[in-house]
Amino acid sequence: MLPVSESLTRRAVARALAGRQEAYADELQRIVEATYRVIERTGMVDPTLRDILRESKLSTQAFYRYFTSKDELLLVLLDDGARRLVGYLEHRMERAVGPDAQVRAWVGGVLAQAADDRAARRTRPFVANEARLAERFPDEQQASVDLLTGLLVPPVTELTGGRRADARRDADAVYHLAFGALRRHLTLGTVPGRAEADHLSRFALGGIAAP
């Protein structure tokens, strides 16, 4: 009997792997969404693995197929949350006219996360676990931050006439200013007012414009 040709073998293997990858991607998404639901329903900042698996209807074996620890799962959710926030901030900034208005839109959009109940419940666990995640996964955590500060670099560069080579550092400073305020409100369960957003924006813009 002649052996199966190499091309047919590769094609069959590719089909089998494609089907498996789709199933794995579905399981991974179920775990992520289940974690969000547990966080939103319970308000826990560190949901238990048992609750997550019960919500996802998956086994412990399925969980460890993708993650070596629960912190890795929280890191995935942190990155997912950052990407969702980037989309929200991009939309706000697109409607703003001028670089100063874009910076204001960014700062206001960050603080708005504490004013929205669902966004606050989803974000609070990452504020509580931020230091631990940054220590364990510094590069991955920084990549999520870079997604957010990257939105600020163009308007900051424009505000300084393109003269500053350290526009990224200015953007990082605005990030820490806005997220420091967001962290405080999420920890205390309070809601920032319009006056606070305006004050932080003025302070940030004043720092960017300073010689």
| Max Cα–Cα distance, the chain, nearest Å | 81
Confidence tier at 15 by pLDDT (50, 70, 90): low
What pLDDT, in 10s, does the model give residues 122-161? 888 777 778 888 888 899 888 888 999 999 999 999 998 7
Distance in angstroms (rounded) separating the CA atoms of residues 156 and 74: 31
Q: Does domain 1-66 have CATH number 1.10.10?
A: yes
| Percent of the chain clearing pLDDT 70 (strictly above) | 89
- Whole-number average pLDDT of the chain: 86
What pLDDT, in 10s, does the model give residues 68-107? 898 898 888 888 888 889 999 999 999 999 999 999 999 9
User: Rounded to two decimals, what is the model's pTM?
Assistant: 0.82
Q: What are the structural domain ranges in the chain?
A: 1-66, 70-211
Confidence tier at 198 by pLDDT (50, 70, 90): very high
CATH architecture observed for domain 70-211: Orthogonal Bundle (1.10)
